[in-house]
Amino acid sequence: MKLSDKKRLNILDAAEQLFFENGVEHTTMDQIAKAAQASKRTVYNHFVTKDALFEAIISRMVEHLNQDEELSFSNKVAIDIQLTKIAQQEVSLLNSEHFLRIAKIAFMQMLQQPTLAEHIASNQFGCMRYLESFLRQGVANNKLQIENIEFAAKQFVYQLKSFVFYPVLFGFETPNSLPLKKIIEQTVATFLSRYQVK
């Protein structure tokens, strides 16, 4: 690894930790330079603005997310079992330390920068990478009856997020205090009561 690449990595590591501890707004480029053991000039050579540095950190963190395989619809497996597996994988991602770290760093910035919120929302994480396709296949195989696939996919994921992700992000719950099995079962049951072909 070249020295300039190593310096860039040190800057990213230092900034990520400071942003996590203090928030982006309350972190200065001077603090980042000091924590990275680099000159302020070196920091600016790699990242022209703090916003550019922030975006590089979010991109790097998203790249390192441990995302499970994309699941395809199967006519040979009961639909509730398939949706349960999708929900389990999603809950595992939403509850992961890495994902919560990204969320904590990004959340306050997203409130202040609507364009950043749009940019992050355009990156599809977890089951949102394939859920619409899965649901379309379920409809094509006459297992599901859904008029608005995009809405139904969001409905499924947002229900999980509202019970599993946001309470932990805001500190109301810890990942270990949540009744995950019940949340998953109820999410799948609610979804199927609305969309399963009777």
For residue 69, being part of any structural domain is answered with no
Q: Are residues 30 and 112 in the same domain?
A: no
Judge if 38 and 88 occupy the same domain.
no
In a domain, 45, yes or no: yes
Assign residue 46 the CATH number of its domain: 1.10.10.60
Q: Based on the structure, what is the number of domains in the chain?
A: 2
pTM above the 0.85 mark?
no
| Residue-level pLDDT at 63 | 78
Question: What span, in angstroms and rounded, lies between the C-alpha atoms of 136 and 73?
Answer: 9
Give the separation between CA 125 and CA 91, rounded to whole angstroms: 12
**pLDDT reported for residue 125:** 77
Cα–Cα dist 83/125, whole Å: 17
Q: Write out the chain's pLDDT in tens, 198 residues.
A: 787 788 899 999 999 999 988 888 889 999 999 999 999 999 999 999 998 998 898 888 777 776 678 899 999 999 999 999 999 999 998 888 888 888 888 887 777 776 766 666 666 778 888 999 999 999 999 999 999 999 999 999 999 999 999 999 888 988 889 999 999 999 999 999 999 998
Write the secondary structure of the chain as one string of H (helix), E (strand) and C (coil). Answer: CCHHHHHHHHHHHHHHHHHHHHCCCCCCHHHHHHHHCCCHHHHHHHCCCHHHHHHHHHHHHHHCCCCCCCCCCCCCCCHHHHHHHHHHHHHHHHCCHHHHHHHHHHHHHHHHCHHHHHHHHHCCCHHHHCHHHHHHHHHHCCCECCCCHHHHHHHHHHHHHHHHCHHHHCCCCCHHHCCHHHHHHHHHHHHHHHHECC
Residue 115 domain boundaries: 79-195
In whole angstroms, what is the distance from residue 12 CA to residue 33 CA?
10
Kindly state whether residues 59 and 94 are assigned to the same domain: no
Asked whether residue 70 is assigned to any structural domain, the reply reads no
Q: Which of 18, 40, 35 is nearest to 27 (CA)?
A: 18
Same domain, 88 and 14: no
